[in-house]
Structure formats: C-alpha cells, structure tokens
A and B are shown apart, each in its own frame.
Chain A
Amino acid sequence: MKGMVRLLLPPLFGLLVLAGWEWAVGAFAIPAFVLPPPSAVLAALWRDGPLLLTSSWLTLSITLQAFLLALVTGVALALLFSQSRLAAAALYPYVVALQVTPIVAIAPLVVIWVGYERVNLALLILAWIVAFFPILSNTTLGLSAVDPNLRDLFRLYGANRWQTLWRLQLPSALPYLLGGMKISGGLALIGAVVAEFVAGSGTASGLAWRIIESGNRLNMPRLFAALFLLSALGIAIFAGLSFIQNRLLRRWHESELGRQ
C-alpha cells in the first residue's frame, strides 16, 4: 500500500501542477506567447508529432552514438592509463585540457574543420567530447581502487597482468564505470543539444533546433512540446542506465543493496 502511494505520488503531483497551470493561464489571461496552457502544448505535441519525433530521433541518435563512442574510447584510454604510467603522465593533462575548455568555445572550430555539409558529425564530436571525460576518470579511478590484500593474493598466486586486469581490476572498476556512465549519458544529451544550439542549422534539425526555431517564431506551444520531449529523452537515458547498473550490481555491491 505504501509502495503504491509512493509510486502514484509523483504523477498525481504533476497532474495537480498541470491543472493549476491550465487554470492560471485562463484566470490571469496570460498570453500564449509567454506561457501556453498545457492543453495547447498537448495539442502542439499531437499536431507537430511527426516533425518533433523526427527531430527527437536525430537528437537521440547523436546522443547515443556520442555516448557509445565515449564509453569505448573512455574505457580504452583508462585501460591504457592503468597499464602504462608513462602514457597516463603524457596524455592526462591534454585530456583535462579538452575537458575544461567550454564546449561552446570549441564548437565553431569543430564545425569549420568537419565542414558545414556534415553538421551531424560535428554534433557527434562535440557531444562525445563532453560525454567522454566522466567515463575516463571514473574508470581510471576504479581500475586503481583495488583492495590491496586482493592484489597481494593475485601476486601470491603468480597472476599475470592480463589475469589481474580481467579478474580483479575490471570487476573492481565496474561500479565506478557504471557511475561514470550515468553522468556521461546525461552529458551526452546536454552536449548534443548545446552543440546544436551553436552549430545547428536547417540541415541538422534536432530538438534543440526546433526550440530555437519555435522561439524565433514565438510558437510557444511547440517550444514547450520540444522541451517536454527533450526532458523525456534525458529521463529515459537515466532510467535505462540505472536499470543496467542495478542488474549488474544488485547481487554484490553496497550501492544497490536494500533496493530489492
């Protein structure tokens, strides 16, 4: 019973807010170009559905590609760092430099290099730059955060580098990697949207482009509909990654205990 209440509480609260919003817009005669009523947003969602879904798909596909690319390159680089201190010492400062330089500032350069005719690739690169760092830093941390006694045990039994990596370091790093993936999944979406704001054009019309366009035309219902879809995408990515995290850790890791 308590579980049911907890489950129903957020949607009930949401409906209450929507009802209040709808009422307030009518009662105070707020113009639609400032704040459209939820009913108008819903109508826009329905009317512009095909257009918005196409845009959502573009944003989602860039986000997912950037995320997967970040996952592969982040883990690969973390593995390289864990195996070679020299490589870590040489490369890490540049990785940090890439991370701390604001993506908005890099965007024009990337667009010029990639070419305006391949804006989607530019968006992918920009989203990847944003998403890649949490995976790298978390995995690097995880690969070195090994129980020292377990490390001694592997040494005692003469485990080679590969065995130590595969049987000890990677499993130890998994919770860290999954934590990094959760951050990175959200950042990939943010990266894709920010990149589109800076670099987007009629040729790359994802959700961010729809928001700019709707704003310019004062089409507030559509702008809100696009915003709604964008946040739904973010929530779906977060929920998906939380699900994966739970599946992989629930039998053994503290973070997932007591959630069953």
Chain B
Amino acid sequence: MSPLLTVAGLSLAYGKGTPALDGVDLTLNRGEFLSLLGPSGCGKSTLLRLIAGLLTPSGGQLQWQSPIARGDIGFVFQEPTLMPWARVIDNVRLPLEIAGVPRVEAVDRAMAELEKVGLLDFSKSYPRELSGGMKMRVSLARALVTRPALLLLDEPFAALDEITRLKLNDDLLSLWRRDGFTAIFVTHSVFESVYLSTRIAVMRPRPGRIVAELPVELPSQRDYATRTGAVYNDHCRTVSTLLHQAMGAAP
C-alpha cells in the first residue's frame, strides 16, 4: 500500500504550557480506515484539524503523496454542523457551490450522495425537521460530495444513542467500501474503533502523543456477527489494555 500522508514529528504548542501535541509520527496508507483512540485532551481532534489544515503546526510536517487540492479532504464534525437556514440539498451541495461547480451538476451530485445515505426523500427538508441520526447522515453526504481522497471524522457519532450509532457505523463502513476513500476516525470508544478500523492508533494526553498502533485483523465486510466473534473481542481486550496503559503513562 502506498502512503497517502506521512506525518513527521508534528507538534502544536499554545504559548509556553504543555504542548497539545508533541512529536507525532504517523503514516497513513491509501484506502485504510484508521482510528485515533484516546482519552479527552490527548490531542486527537487537534491532530485531525492539523491534517485538515484548519490549524498550523508549530513543529514537524505533513507530507502528502500528491498535492492536496480543495475538496480532497472531507470533514465530519462532532455536531452535524448544518446550516439551519438551508434545505438538506443546499447543505449537501455547499462544498461544490463554493468550488464553483455549475448548479445543475452540483444538485445532481448532491442528490446522488443523499441517495447513498438513504435521505433522498428529505432533500427539501430543513435540518430542524430531521432526527440526530439523519442530520449526521446529511453531514456525511456533504463531506463525501466532493469525492474526497481523505475523510476526517471527529467523534461524529458520540452524541447519538447506541442503536443509531451502531447503524451509522455500518453505513459508514459500506460508504467506505464503496467509495474507497481513506478515513481517519477520532473516537473515545474502544468498541467503535475496533469495529470500524483497519488500524488503531492509541494516544495519550499531556503532551498528546501516539503511544501504540495496532492493525485490526477483521474481514472488511463486518456486521452483527463480527461484534459477537472471538477475534473482535480479543481486539477489544487488547485495545482496552493499550488505552489503559496510555492513560496510566500520563503524569
């Protein structure tokens, strides 16, 4: 597998205190699903924002295999982050509109994304009229409408109830298999990280660092049976231990 992105010695410090992120090295392979797992304050969201270019590192660098253009990175926030005044379809086509894609084409592509997340019938609705899970689907559709090479997800399902979250996990996996993007998924749930990822990076706080990496040896097709299988449970145990050690290692 060829690396899409190499992160070398990436640091971010605010003022003179403990840096939020200190010397992070990470190689991101094309097509993989990487989870960043760690307790709050470990800098996992910060790392995601640095990769997205929303923050500027104070040290180290990001080496992209090929130059990043606008629309190459999709971002899903913890909140659905939809424009409340715009209909679902207009929210989804926003990235294309900003990029100057002609309206007719943008609407077509946005409708195609809405169909993928099962919300075709709600294109004319306003965000307020949707449930939390549906809003998150709209947010996913918007992030995918530019056909990004890299999808960044910042604890997107943390605010949803368990059942909706499991459903959205499956939907996200089928989108990933279908569209073939690379994904970085920030989470604080051991189970979610094992179920979704091909690889897990465990982080620790103060200063934020990656302390362990673990490939997930589950088939790419995952479903209810996966969650009850021995391999899944073994991984959950291992990752829980790693997370515990990571937290223990913090001063």
Contacts and interface: CB of A to CB of B under 8 A. Distances in A.
Co-complex (A, B): yes
Contacts of A257: 128
Interface in B75-124: 75, 77, 79, 81, 83-86, 94-95, 97-99
B42 interface: no
Contacts of B98: 154, 157-159, 163, 167
A158 B83 CA distance: 17
Main secondary structure of the interface of A (DSSP, over half): helix
Interface in A162-208: 163, 167-168, 171, 174
B77 A157 contact: no
Main secondary structure of the interface of B (DSSP, over half): loop
Interface stretch (A56-64, A128-136, A144-152): A144-152
Nearest to B53: A156
Contacts of B205: none
A252 B128 CA distance: 6
Contact of A149 (B81, B86, B95): B81
Q: Interface residues of A toward B: which range? A: 20 to 34
B52 interface: yes
Interface residues of B, number: 24
Contacts, number: 53
A179 to B, nearest CB: 15
Interface string B142-175: 0000100000000000000000000000000000
Given A155-B54, A157-B95, A168 B75 contact: no
B127 A252 contact: yes
Given A157-B98, A158-B70, A252-B128, A171 B85 contact: yes
Interface of B: 49, 52-54, 70-71, 73, 75, 77, 79, 81, 83-86, 94-95, 97-99, 126-128, 146
22 contacts: A149-B77, A149-B81, A150-B83, A152-B75, A153-B75, A153-B77, A153-B94, A154-B98, A156-B52, A156-B54, A157-B95, A157-B146, A158-B98, A171-B83, A171-B85, A171-B86, A252-B84, A252-B85, A252-B127, A252-B128, A253-B84, A253-B85
Interface of A: 147, 149-150, 152-159, 163, 167-168, 171, 174, 251-253, 257
| Cβ-closest 3 pairs across A and B | A158-B70, A149-B81, A171-B85
Given A171-B83, A253-B84, 19 more contacts: A149-B77, A149-B79, A150-B81, A152-B75, A153-B75, A153-B94, A155-B54, A156-B70, A156-B73, A157-B71, A158-B98, A158-B99, A159-B98, A167-B83, A167-B98, A251-B128, A252-B85, A252-B127, A252-B128
